[in-house]
Structure 1
C-alpha cells in the first residue's frame, strides 16, 4: 500500500488519465497552430499583415476590412442580435472577396477558424473587397 492510500487520500489523477490529458492537449495545440497559420496566410493573401491574426480585436478589424466592411462594425459586436448580423456581414464579405458563395459564407460564420485555414492553405485568391 502506498502512503497516500494508508492516509485515505486518493491520488489526483491516474497515469492513464494523465496520458489522455497530454494527448488531448497536444491535439488542441496542433489544431490551434493550424488555425493561426491558416488565418495568417489568409490575411497575407489579402495584403494585410499576417501577424494580425494573433492580436485580439485587431484581427477582427482586419477580417472586416478584407471583407469590404468599415472598421466601425466592430462596435456592432457589442450589441446583442446586431452582433450576429455583423458577423454574418463579415463572413459574407470575406467569402465574396475570395470568390466564394453562400455555402462558404455559412462555413465562415459557423466555423471561422477552420474556414480561414481553408482559405489560407487552399488555392483561393483574394479578388479584392466586395462593394
Structure 2
C-alpha cells in the first residue's frame, strides 16, 4: 500500500507555522507587559495574563470572569482591545488590529509608550 506522505508534510508545516505564530504572540505580550511596568513573564501565564491586562488598562480584576461568559466575552474582548490601544496612546481604531492579532506585535515592537490605564481616565 502506498502512503500519502504529502498530508503528513502539510501537517508538519502547519504545526511549525502555528507554533511560530504562538511564539510571536507570547513574545509580544511579554514586551507589552514590560512596557506597562508589569513583569513580562505574566504575559505568558494563561488566565493570569488577563488579570494583569485588566490592571494595565485600568479595569477591575473581576472583569476576568466576564471573558468566560458566552457572547459577553466577545464584547469584553472588544472593550479591552480599545482600552489597551488607548493605554498606549493609540486611537480606538487601532483596536481593530488587536482583533486580527497583528496589533500585539506592532504595539510590542514599535516605539509606543504606555501612557497609563485608559479606563481610569474615562
Q: Confirm or deny a common fold (TM above 0.5).
A: yes
Provide the residue aligned with 2:19 in structure 1.
Answer: 29
- For residue 58 of structure 1, the aligned residue among 15, 33, 48 is 48
Q: Would the aligned equivalents of 2:95 and 2:103 in 1 still touch at CA under 8 Å?
A: no
Q: Which structure 2 residue ranges, 5 or more long, are not aligned?
A: none
Aligned counterpart, 2:6: 16
- Quick one: distance in 2 between partners of 1:126 and 1:26? 33
Corresponding residue for residue 70 of structure 1: 60
Report the CA distance shift for 1:84/1:27 in structure 2 as closer, same or farther (over 3 A). closer
Counterparts in 2 of 1:82 and 1:23: CA distance versus 1, 3 Å: closer
Shift of 1:61: 1.0
**CA offset at residue 114 of structure 1?**
2.8
Q: Is 1:96 aligned with 2:86? A: yes
2:114 is aligned to 126
SS of 1:79's partner is coil
- The residue number in structure 1 matching 2:105 is 117
TM-score by length of 2: 0.85
Superposed CA RMSD in Å reads: 1.7
**Alignment size in residue pairs:** 119
Shift in Å at residue 40 of structure 1?
Answer: 0.7
3-state DSSP of counterpart to 1:99? coil
CA contact (8 A) 1:64 1:93 kept: no
What TM-score, normalized by structure 1, do the two folds share?
0.80
For 2:69 and 2:20, locate their aligned partners in 1 and report how far apart those are by CA, in whole Å: 33
- Where 1:100 maps in the other structure, the secondary structure is coil
- Partner deviation per Cα, 1:71-107 (whole Å, 9 max, x = no partner): 1111222333333332222112111110111211222
